[in-house]
Amino acid sequence: MSSPIESVLQEQRLFYPSLEFSAQAKIGSLEQYHQLYRQAEADPVKFWSDLATQELDWFDRWHTTLDWQPPLVKWFDGGKLNISYNCLDRHLLTWRRNKAALIWEGEPGDSRTYTYAQLHREVCLFANVLKQLGVQKGDVVGIYLPMIPEAAIAMLACARIGAPHSVVFGGFSAEALRDRLNDGKAKLVITADGGWRKDAIVPLKDQVDIALTHVPTVENVLVVQRTGQKIQMLPGRDHWWHDLKQGVNADCPAEPMASEDILFILYTSGSTGKPKGVVHTTAGYNLYTHITTQWIFDLKDTDVYWCTADVGWITGHSYIVYGPLSNGATTLMYEGAPRPSNPGCTWEIIEKHGVNIFYTAPTAIRSFIKQGEHLPKARDLSSLRLLGTVGEPINPEAWMWYYRIIGQERCPIVDTWWQTETGGIMISALPGAMATKPGSATLPFPGIIADVVDLEGNPVGVNEGGYLVIKHPFPSMMRTIYNDPDRFRSSYWEHIPPKEGQYFYFAGDGARKDEDGYFWVMGRVDDVINVAGHRLGTMEIESALVSHPAVAEAAVVGKPDEIKGEEICAFIILEGSQTANEELAQELKQHVVKEIGAIARPGEIKFTDALPKTRSGKIMRRLLRSLAAQQEITSDTSTLEDRSVLDKLREGA
Ligand code: WT7
């Protein structure tokens, strides 16, 4: 048996939605869910084709709903549409024209609201500025912005003219930005002077200046003024958005895009190698994020919906920008993060705007718990009707706190399992239809054939751990890795080899299914570290460490952490002449921050003389993980080259 993870969690609690909630819900009963699920399973082509007809506006209808040449897929081939049109223009023809599309809160307390008509106008102006700067259909545009409305506007403007965007999280360093811009051969970068985060300014433009010394393809930089701090503007290359927008007109029809034209590239870490540029295309992504937003968040026209993710991650793409706006919803965006000067800002914003649906991450929930329940209790949270979580498995105690203190035992919780690669939510409760269990993402979305299998692709037994796989193509699945189709195949489609025509998309997670068919995701089976809901590749962090002159070799692993889920623990072998001390440990931590960003800062540095390796020279990180967590090593050590290394490491710990 090749089970990747053993199941240890025993959770029996069951929470039903209230009758009131179910009565008003889009999908209001388990029966209705099963019916939809069966329909989709029996005839996926009809299921998705019907939804695409009903839910999206098209310039040209497609001729082939699904073209599946594993692992290559095309959805709605022959069709023409534009996601910016579906998110904006079509609502202008309805009463939603003057409805709030985007409510934004800045960290220092400033606030802006855009109606659909206003947002449409800004996007058109932005798109015309991009065109004026020479951006054409197919050109990749880098976006490195704080959480300000212009981030959404820039994405929609790129989509409008058919320029794939590559959003780089504003917390990433100049080096990380440079690599991503080079991989995409970006032609233009959109940034800001700076952004607010945790009471401080993040100097984005300065980082761009450093990055661009080594990115030959970028011709222009479009700069949004946010903080007003002093920055360098390189004549001819750098342009202020507020200057250029004065000179363009507000008429910019949405470009008809083919269904399979690239909408965006978004980089995510793998366990080895450089970050993967996950490619998403237009129609399938639009449809899937649209319908999952509608059914999973039970989104109504009267709701104020708030997802706390950053637009630099897939959650921000799919569930702040595209999914909600395609539905004509009111989406709320917040610039900062809970911060020393106002730790209760989250609850203040919910009260101020009467937020109805709140979607956040387990890592945030754990820090809310630590801050104390007096903060949410000081605010009126009675507007909330539904809560969501995403990013990593949520521990049942955090789930219960979220349910009791934030949801006041009134709001269902949707625990949504998905990935950058899947584009949209794969496994989650439909909140009016099914009971939830703390720690389980519950059941797959209609049309998603998910299973837990062994290495040969055979389903494992009830409550047995195995590999989480998807067995049928779905509209928002990643199409490839940018510039690396071979890696796309080997990373996702060969781990569990196809058999009898059945292909298995392997997500990289271990899971089990319980007696009710509920999925319990147990985490990554590879070496990727999940810090605060973000997967970080060991390789990138190790490379950063090794780039420091004092370091000969580095291995990093995740170590359980109460707040962040995992914390990075780095094992370091120093160059011969160097001596280990606390000062150097601090310096190395800072070095990683510079190379990658604060998110990758190791919590702990352990100096050592040797690392446990296999005979072929591969570092055995699972052994290091046990050491870091101060656990007994019970897993297999037979492939270890030198067993005495473990004893030495233990002594040093
Ligand atoms: C990985 C994907 C999807 C947006 C945020 C992260 C883990 C995500 C859950 C959940 C258990 C989860 C998985 C997955 N994950 N959501 N509800 N329960 N695990 O996107 O950076 O692409 O990471 O996050 O391990 O594979 P990402």
SS3 of 207-245: HHHHHHCCCCCCCEEEEECCCCCCCCCCCCCEEEHHHHH
State in Å: Cα 404 to ligand 1 middle: 24
Q: Can you spell out the DSSP letters for 318-372?
A: IIIIIHHHHTT-EEEEESS-SBTTBTTHHHHHHHHHT--EEEE-HHHHHHHHHH-
Q: Which two tokens stand for residue 388?
A: 């969501």
Q: What is the CATH number of the domain that holds 449?
A: 3.40.50.12780
Give the pLDDT mean for 378-404.
94
Does 317 sit in the ligand 1 pocket, CB within 6 Å? no
Same domain, 178 and 48: no
Same domain, 417 and 490: yes
Does 391 sit in the ligand 1 pocket, CB within 6 Å? yes
State in Å: Cα 257 to ligand 1 middle: 30
Same domain, 641 and 594: yes
In the predicted structure, residue 4 carries a pLDDT above the cut 70: no
State in Å: Cα 225 to ligand 1 middle: 33
pLDDT at 366: 83
Q: Which atom of ligand 1 is nearest to the CA of 534?
A: 21
Q: Which two tokens stand for residue 366?
A: 């754990």
In a domain, 347, yes or no: no
Domain end residue (candidates: 496, 520, 544): 520
Contacts of 239 (CB under 8 A, 6+ apart): 133, 220, 221, 222, 223
State in Å: Cα 39 to ligand 1 middle: 27
Same domain, 146 and 208: yes
Does 66 sit in the ligand 1 pocket, CB within 6 Å? no
pLDDT at 2: 38
pLDDT band per the 50, 70, 90 thresholds, residue 152: very high
Q: Which atom of ligand 1 is nearest to the CA of 441?
A: 17
State in Å: Cα 391 to ligand 1 middle: 4
pLDDT per residue as tens digits for the range 156-204:
999 999 999 999 999 888 989 999 999 999 999 999 999 998 889 999 9
Entry pTM: 0.90
Does 509 sit in the ligand 1 pocket, CB within 6 Å? yes
Same domain, 145 and 210: yes
pLDDT at 526: 75
In a domain, 284, yes or no: yes
Same domain, 510 and 402: yes
Does 540 sit in the ligand 1 pocket, CB within 6 Å? no
pLDDT band per the 50, 70, 90 thresholds, residue 219: very high
In a domain, 323, yes or no: no
The whole-chain average pLDDT of the chain stands at 93
CA distances to 73, 140, 155, 272, 474 from 486, in Å: 15, 22, 28, 14, 21
In a domain, 335, yes or no: no
Same domain, 477 and 610: no
pLDDT at 6: 52
In a domain, 310, yes or no: no
Bridge partners of residue 471, in order along the sequence: none
Pairing state of beta strands 529-531 and 64-69? Answer: unpaired
- Tell me how many degrees the CA angle 367-267-58 measures, rounded to the nearest 5: 105
State in Å: Cα 168 to ligand 1 middle: 18
In a domain, 637, yes or no: yes
pLDDT at 270: 61
Domain end residue (candidates: 454, 488, 520): 520
pLDDT per residue as tens digits for the range 20-44:
999 999 999 999 999 999 999 999 9
Q: How many domains does the chain have?
A: 3
Does 289 sit in the ligand 1 pocket, CB within 6 Å? no
pLDDT at 113: 98
Percent of the chain at pLDDT above 70?
Answer: 96
In a domain, 343, yes or no: no
pLDDT at 10: 61
Same domain, 125 and 246: yes
Same domain, 400 and 291: yes
- Residue 616: which domain range? 528-652
Same domain, 275 and 223: no
Domain end residue (candidates: 255, 284, 317): 255
Omega before 70 within 30 of 0, i.e. cis:
no
Same domain, 187 and 116: yes
In a domain, 261, yes or no: no
Distance, in Å, from the CA atom of 544 to the CA atom of 565, rounded to the nearest integer, reads 22
CA distances to 33, 35, 46, 66 from 39, in Å: 10, 6, 9, 16
Same domain, 364 and 492: yes
pLDDT at 3: 42
